[in-house]
Each structure stands twice: as structure tokens, then as C-alpha cells.
Amino acid sequence: NAGVTQTPKFRILKIGQSMTLQCTQDMNHNYMYWYRQDPGMGLKLIYYSVGAGITDKGEVPNGYNVSRSTTEDFPLRLELAAPSQTSVYFCASVRANYGYTFGSGTRLTVV
């Protein structure tokens, strides 16, 4: 049982480049989330999904896009990378009334 798998673990992007952060869960959870973690700032919600085909914005969605074509996958897309997007990104999934299961994170640096 792999839980929540994120790839890649590390990435360096140049300003203006694009990339997709992958997230897959094998627990058949309906709810999935993308958070970013900045030093001293806790976790901020970027986007979330309550099921396949349904996504919604969180607190800090600007500069990101998501899709949810299957229950398992919830990729996060950065179209024009900016230095302000340097952060650690965490994907998570949850079954109702239980705690979240987090992936191990993607450390992204934009230079």
C-alpha cells in the first residue's frame, strides 16, 4: 500500500518555465489537496478536489492549475514559474472523518 506518491522529489526551474507536479493515491480517497509550505508560514491550500472531475480553489491558487480526471491522480501545473513559487509542495488525500495522508513532498526552486 503506497499511500500518496509525489514526483519529483526535487526540481529546479528557470523563471518562465512550466512543469507538472504529479500526485497519485491508491486508497480510493475522494478528497485530494495541494498545499505549499513556506518557512514559518505553515501550509497554505492551493487547490482541492472532492472527486473526479471536480476541483476548486484554495487560499493561494494564482499561478497554478489542477485537473482530476481520475480518482487516483491529482496533478498540479505551474505554467510560468516565478521565484515566489519556490516552496515545498505537499499533496494529500483523505477519507471523510479521518486524518489526511500526505505525500513526502516536492521541493521546488525557481531561479
Partner 1 sequence: GDSVTQMEGPVTLSEEAFLTINCTYTATGYPSLFWYVQYPGEGLQLLLKATKADDKGSNKGFEATYRKETTSFHLEKGSVQVSDSAVYFCALRGSLTGGGNKLTFGTGTQLKVEL
**What is the three-class DSSP state of 79?**
coil
Q: How far is the CB of 16 from partner 1 (least distance, A)?
A: 29
| Residue 86 in contact with partner 1, rule: CB under 8 A | no
For partner 1, give the closer residue by CB, 33 or 81: 33
Q: In this structure, are strands 87-94 and 106-110 parallel, antiparallel, or unpaired?
A: antiparallel
Conformation bin of residue 42: beta by default, left when phi > 0, alpha when psi is -120 to 50? left
Interface with partner 1, residue 90, by CB under 8 A: yes
Torsional sign, CA 65, 50, 89, 12 = negative
Burial label for 102, CB within 10 Å (0-12, 13-18, 19+), is middle
Residue 30 buriedness (CB in 10 A; 0-12 / 13-18 / 19+): middle
Which is closer to partner 1, CB of 13 or CB of 94?
94
Select the residue interacting with partner 1 from 25, 60, 81, 105 (CB under 8 A): 105
Binding string to partner 1 for residues 36 to 75, with x set by CB under 8 A, is what?
A: ----xxxx-x--x-x-----x-x-----------------
Q: Is 2 near partner 1 (CB under 8 A)?
A: no
Which residues contact partner 1 by CB under 8 A?
Answer: 4, 31, 33, 35, 40-43, 45, 48, 50, 56, 58, 90, 92, 94, 96-97, 99-100, 102-105
